[in-house]
Amino acid sequence: MDRHLPRVPPETASRGRSLATRVALAFVLLAVATALNAQAILEGERHHPVTGRNGMVVTSHDLATDAALTVLKSGGNAVDAAVTAGFVLAVVQPRSGNIGGGGFMLVAPGDGGPVEAIDYREKAPAAATATMFQDENGNVVTNRSRFTHLASGVPGTVAGLALALERFGTLSLSDALAPAIELAREGFVVPPRFTEGLEQAQERLHRWPASLATFYRADGSAWQPGERFRQPDLAATLQRIANHGTAGFYQGETARLIVEEMQRHGGLITAADLANYQPAVRKPVRGSYRGYEVLSMSPPSSGGTHIIQILNILEDYPLAELGHNSAATVHYMAEAMKLAYADRSKFLGDTDFVEVPLDGLLSKSYAGELRKGIDADRARPASEIQPGAPGGYESPETTHYSIVDRWGNAVSNTYTINFSYGSGITVAGAGFLLNNEMDDFSAKPGEPNAFGLIGGEANKVEPGKRMLSSMSPTIVRKGDRNFLVTGSPGGSRIITTTLQVILNVIDHNMNIQSAVSAPRMHHQWLPDAIFIEQGFSPDTIRLLEDRGHSVRTTNAMGAIQSILIGEDGTLSGGADPRRSTSSARGY
Ligand code: GLY
């Protein structure tokens, strides 16, 4: 049952071929303009929201932002731009942009029509078993689910982006791929963050000859800022998708290369797993908060469910009055977060396989019950909290982008290969990295994953099942109007990062750049501590400790890329300064 976003007006649509030509021309012009203006644009964007009337793109990489904005300016819609950005990120930001992973896309029509979620999360291969990450004594072998060929789920990105385009787009798949193919074939000038990432991941990537050859110079050192980096194998892989559609990835040469890679190293993904992979169209989870409608990702992500659950708990507290990041506000947030993450550990999993008590978790009455256990003056130790009875870290290297077009259509997309550079394993001859998303399953119920998240029976490994995620692409509406488009990387911190941007906008009345930039906190039940970024006052920390909280300062959390849509249609973009390549651009 196809639904279409408002399409290019008929007179423009009839010039479909010229749309592609205009996109190509605009890319050339934009490349020149970008080279001249990049620094000035970036500096401005760090302090104020970027505004526009006709379109806005916020991503974690300037080149993806530029490519998507070019599509919008040339008459494409938000989904055309989102698919283009997804493929460009797969080329220019290999630590998280991908075709070897998976993700979730929310599409919200500008006319108030139903919001749709495209689930292109990876799936466990058919030969996967519940104990595949345990030794013969039942002990978890952690590196097996992270740095081996067993770590990879069947990739979903290509099928998911293609499905989004088929349902809502106006560009052909090959036109949406064209900028990415060009960047892979002709190369791009690497920014410092690209070099830093590959230097940090060197030990892990050097273990695999194809990763070494694909991402490093001949002497094994990382490409340096200012140098041009080319990826001929990836260009050929993307070209096969352009030529043959999803069959150009899930069948034929690319599928053969993936299967051979698996067979050489004891991996499980077969030709049948690839041929059988299908993305799913889902209904997002839905809640309300102070008169706004909140729509976010449903299972197999836990993200949307727990954002709404925490908002429901917090709605009863006067957060605006208590103040942004005051001890009282942070205390209530931490207490609500603990309760939600305790529930996550027990109830959440892939709803195609297990029953998840979604109605209960999302209900105001269950939130009211949970709220009764929150003390205004005392932190409840995590040991006193157990999952209730409702009727990842992962890597900080997932990536999110938000896009709004001239018709007010919004796309919120988060996708990942889990850790930075995923498993570190490149498919030889195909030039892309494989995910290590299997680590998001519970290797053994009750055992934490790489980032301390506890999983339960509901998230055990099963063939064909999707591993639980925290990714939370989110769209907030006011009446029929799209209001806030947001989402973030950050493993389990995705949920609390996204939550805080919603609170910063709705409760604390911040502009979108301030909402994105403001220091963030996080609590995930276990470990029993509030994690804070730099920027909280010593007074606040002392007051939290007086209530019994353990407070730990940590590195920056998340990289949330957000757009706010004003009542008059003005678009404000907030790019997260926590990533040096983030950018918001509008027109
Ligand atoms: N791999 C992190 C997540 O999906 O939450």
DSSP secondary structure letters along 86-116: HHHHHHH-TTT--SSSEEEEEEE-TTSPPPE
pLDDT of residue 388: 86
Residue in 344, 394, 438, 465 to alter for ligand 1 test, most ligand atoms within 8 A of Cβ: 394
Gap between the Cα atoms of 75 and 23, Å rounded: 9
Q: Cα(399) to centroid of ligand 1, in Å?
A: 10
Q: Do the Cβ atoms of 154 and 277 come closer than 8 Å?
A: yes
494 Cα nearest atom in ligand 1: 5
- The Cα-based distances of 99 to 116, 159, 301, 431 in angstroms read 22, 9, 19, 10
Gap between the Cα atoms of 479 and 484, Å rounded: 12
Nearest CA to ligand 1 atom 1: 418
From the number of C-beta atoms within 10 Å of its C-beta (0-12, 13-18, 19+), residue 16 rates as middle
* Token pair listed for 347: 């109830």
- The angle at the Cα of 534, spanning 318 to 289, to the nearest 5 degrees, equals 25
Positions annotated as catalytic residues are: 398
Cβ(440) – ligand 1 distance below 6 Å: yes
Cβ(471) – ligand 1 distance below 6 Å: yes
Q: Cα(485) to centroid of ligand 1, in Å?
A: 19
DSSP code for 434 = P
Gap between the Cα atoms of 146 and 436, Å rounded: 5
User: Beta strand pairing status for 530-532 and 551-553?
Assistant: parallel
From the number of C-beta atoms within 10 Å of its C-beta (0-12, 13-18, 19+), residue 533 rates as middle
Gap between the Cα atoms of 282 and 296, Å rounded: 11
Cβ(470) – ligand 1 distance below 6 Å: yes
Q: Cα(392) to centroid of ligand 1, in Å?
A: 6
- The Cα-based distances of 19 to 14, 27, 71, 72 in angstroms read 9, 12, 9, 11
Cβ(394) – ligand 1 distance below 6 Å: yes
pLDDT of residue 21: 52
Query: 3-class secondary structure for 38-64?
Result: HHHHHHHHCCCCEEECCCEEEECCHHH
Gap between the Cα atoms of 285 and 293, Å rounded: 11
Q: Do the Cβ atoms of 147 and 204 come closer than 8 Å?
A: yes
Q: Cα(237) to centroid of ligand 1, in Å?
A: 25
Q: Cα(298) to centroid of ligand 1, in Å?
A: 13
DSSP letter for each residue of 132-192: TTB-TTS-B-GGGGTSSGGGPPBP-HHHHHHHHHHHH-SS-HHHHHHHHHHHHHH-EEPPH
Whole-model pTM? 0.92
439 Cα nearest atom in ligand 1: 1
**pLDDT tens for the 587 residues of the chain, in order:** 233 454 333 223 333 334 455 444 444 433 333 333 333 333 333 458 999 999 999 999 999 999 999 999 999 999 999 999 999 999 999 999 999 999 999 999 999 999 999 999 999 999 999 999 999 999 999 899 999 999 999 999 999 999 999 999 999 999 999 999 999 999 999 999 999 999 999 999 999 999 999 999 999 999 999 999 999 999 999 999 999 999 999 999 999 999 999 999 999 999 999 999 999 999 999 999 999 999 999 999 999 999 999 999 999 999 999 999 999 999 999 999 999 999 999 999 999 999 999 999 999 999 999 999 999 999 999 999 999 888 733 345 799 999 999 999 999 999 999 999 999 999 999 999 999 999 999 999 888 888 788 888 999 999 999 999 999 999 999 999 999 999 999 999 999 999 999 999 999 999 999 999 999 999 999 999 999 999 999 999 999 999 999 999 999 999 999 999 999 999 999 999 999 999 999 99
Gap between the Cα atoms of 123 and 79, Å rounded: 24
Gap between the Cα atoms of 370 and 337, Å rounded: 11
> What are residue 216's DSSP bridge partners?
222
Nearest CA to ligand 1 atom 4: 469
User: Beta strand pairing status for 474-478 and 571-574?
Assistant: unpaired
Residue type, 583: S
Nearest CA to ligand 1 atom 3: 469
393 Cα nearest atom in ligand 1: 2
437 Cα nearest atom in ligand 1: 1
Q: Which residues in 424-539 belong to E strands, given as ranges?
A: 474-478, 481-486, 521-522, 530-532
CB count in 10 Å sphere of residue 253: 15
Give the position of tokens 């911040």: 510
> What are residue 402's DSSP bridge partners?
58, 412
Cβ(345) – ligand 1 distance below 6 Å: no
DSSP code for 383 = G
Q: Cα(394) to centroid of ligand 1, in Å?
A: 6
Q: Is 551 helix (H, G, I), strand (E, B) or coil?
A: strand
User: Beta strand pairing status for 562-565 and 481-486?
Assistant: antiparallel
Q: Cα(341) to centroid of ligand 1, in Å?
A: 15
Terminal Cα-to-Cα distance of the chain (whole angstroms): 33
Element of type H or E holding 573: strand 571-574
Gap between the Cα atoms of 522 and 500, Å rounded: 9
467 Cα nearest atom in ligand 1: 4
Q: Do the Cβ atoms of 470 and 301 come closer than 8 Å?
A: yes
440 Cα nearest atom in ligand 1: 1
Give me the long-range contacts of 458-462 (CB less than 8 A, separation at least 24): 458/346, 458/347, 458/348, 458/349, 458/354, 458/356, 459/348, 459/349, 459/350, 460/130, 460/349, 461/124, 461/128, 461/129, 461/130, 461/131, 461/132, 461/133, 462/124, 462/128, 462/130, 462/353
* Token pair listed for 70: 């070019």
Cβ(459) – ligand 1 distance below 6 Å: no
Cβ(119) – ligand 1 distance below 6 Å: no
Give the position of tokens 């256990």: 373
